[in-house]
Structure 1
Amino acid sequence: MATQNGVTAAAGTTTVAVLPTTGDGPTEPQRIKSKFNPSAKPFVMQRSSKQPVKPSAAPSTKIPNRSGDDGGGGLRAGQQEQEEDEIAYIGPTRLPVSTRVWNAISSYSLEEIGTTCCPSTGTVRPSAGLAMVRKQTAPPPRPPLQPTMVYQLRPLCQVTTPQEVIPSHPFGPTVLSSGIIQLQLRDSVVVDLTLEGSIRVFNGRQNIAIAISSNGIAAAMNHPNGIIFQHGPRVDIMAYDAKRQNSYIRFAKMWSKGISLTSEGCALIYLVDSAGTRTTSDMLNMDLNADYVQQVFYNGIVCGTQQLAALSQVVQSSSFQLGDDSSIQYHVNGFRISQSGDGLVKIYRSNNRCTIRTSPLNGCATVTTPLLHCTASLGATSHLFVRREERRMHFDGATFIVRNAGHSAGFDEHNQLRVY
């Protein structure tokens, strides 16, 4: 026991000093921190699986008398060693501390800042001088095994659009929403038909398009060697070299007076008739940006959804034949469409004697109607030939010659006018 400023303090406890007042009121007591008693017996924590016990309401009774004044000190120390230290958890990290050590070094009560509940995590990091505390929890029970589910894959339903009618046989004609019948052949060849009888052929490999109107009085052909547009007694022709050996563009027109011709860069237009070759004031009006094949194909026909029912009946009544030489032949809407093993396509209509031929190999094309006959090719004999009654035009990529009533004239390989 010691006396300081009239206050008695015990050894090992916190000493509070009261300073003399200097003002009107008393000053607050000043806390003096006490150091750990070195004469105390070292603390050894015993590992045990017992659950932690709540700290005692009077922790001072648990601290043994270390002064050695009473003779039962050794007995009480043995009992303290056998008794398990109580553990408390403080702070947001749930740090485990011994209640005996905490009461010896701190002036704050564990009942205010500590808890005896174990942290939720299974493992807590140990601090200096303290052992690691592990939460002994039983593993969660396993859920009962569920029976294995066997799933069967179902095939996807094939949904057809209302615009197209599924053909009754493979590679057959189909009805499009635009009101036409389409037949797709090998080697990128597509044939379009209308209910009225117009036909259009696309040769995708050689960039060739051919069309004949339903009444046969109009025809058109787009070919790498030129464009041909026939409507009634008049035939407009434009020719140029597909092999790019020259850049000359030649024009011609077959009409009732004869054949008019000119060339790009030529200021004059010439007329070849029964009297010979002479200049004329006639005009050659040919639009190079116009799609004459489409104009001929849709000339005088009605397209739309109102034709779908009739077109479906045409498709159902169509037939085809397979040959021994890998050829195939279709009969659709009065047309006989055949394709040989090498890809050559032949189309024939018997009521107005119309014939179309095209090949994806050499780029040949032939159109024959009662008013026109023309051929074109990209092979070894690349050419463009047109015949209308007694009037003719021939182009071989270099020379452009027209013939009418026994007279011939044209442009040579240097784009100069020649009269034969």
Structure 2
Amino acid sequence: MPLNAFSRVQTQQALVGACLMALLCGGARGEESAAPACVPPISYLPLDGAVVGLDTRDVPALGTYERISPDGRYVLRSYSGAQWGRVSLMELPASEAGPIKAYRTPFDNEAFPVQGTWRYLVDVNGAHYRFADVLRLQAQSKPLFKGGMTGFYAAASEMAVNARSLKPTAEKPQTIFVRSLSWPQSAHPDQQGVGPLQIATLTVRDDGQQAQIIQTDGPHFICGGRAALDGNVYALPMISIDGAEFSAIPQVPRQGKPTMRVYGLGAASGEPAPCDLRADLGFSPGKAVFGYPSGATSAWLTYSDLGHVYVYDRGLATTFRLAHGRHRVLASAFPGLTRDGRVIYGATWRDCPDAKICPERAGYVIADPYQSDDYRNFWHQRAEQPPKACITQQEVDAERARFAQMHGLPP
């Protein structure tokens, strides 16, 4: 979609929001307005072994620790295999018919994006690179600045991202707040990724060409006030898209059992972390990744567990499983939620049930949770219409245009 169509797409989005749940627009427009098209309930995008290389099982190298861009177009993946090095960027096509492209990066395994905008990609040593530079220069790209939490198991988000969604320029430089979350590492293999939590907030001045840190808050330990309830040892933390919350599992809680929980961090730079409990999933899945909040609605979470993928609706306090459309599907690493609401994750699968003659494939799965059987059955049992029938193609196109415009990318 051409970038100059961005405003027109936003107008289309507004019309979509006014449609009825049956996906028919209001009677005032009559037959003049076509029903907005839903995205497929689930799509499978296989990787080409000739492009990404093969693993030890002769399956296209999938990698692990995958992070999904806000528009669902890019995947930052670690452990990419011999052909693409430690970390690569994968570009997913706009439709199932297109190829998946690959880009090299200068990063070490477990590099991570600054969530919300993906303005920066961060190496495990704290070096921040401009996302557009990595796409353009690949492994030759250079860092802009270095700071924040470092090492494996770190994560970061740009705070109040909706207020700074445009690309900074020399005429209009921006002050950007990046909050990162991590926890101490242990040399003991059974203790890696477990410990007390720390956060740091960077104040960055960015003019679109250069960026530098002008203030640092932290790092400092958080959630000490919860020790009487949760203990002080957490696992699998993940920061929210806006940096105002995090999810984690207290390993030795003083009350109850270890379960995945959501805590508050404070919405402003420099604000003390309240660590107030905001949700408790009641069980211990893999790392829970935040989606994007919608108005007054709390952000959904998505996670994988025993090879399956789920979303957790915090308003309903309910988990929905995303059913597969292929055979022997096994989700890899952990999934991500796009701004438009789709769930994207790496997986292996077979296109036919006979394992003897049906080769295993690897690639990316894109699912619309609103069209999942679990979600629709939930509302059917309540004899209510779901608040959203599906994610529309217009919504997906609009987010793709928004992301491309911000980073100066082709559509």
Question: How high is the TM-score relative to the length of structure 2?
Answer: 0.24
Larger helix share, 1 or 2 = 2
Bigger relative contact order, structure 1 or 2 (CA pairs below 8 A, ≥6 apart) = 2
Question: How high is the TM-score relative to the length of structure 1?
Answer: 0.24
**Structure exhibiting the larger radius of gyration computed from Cα positions:** 1
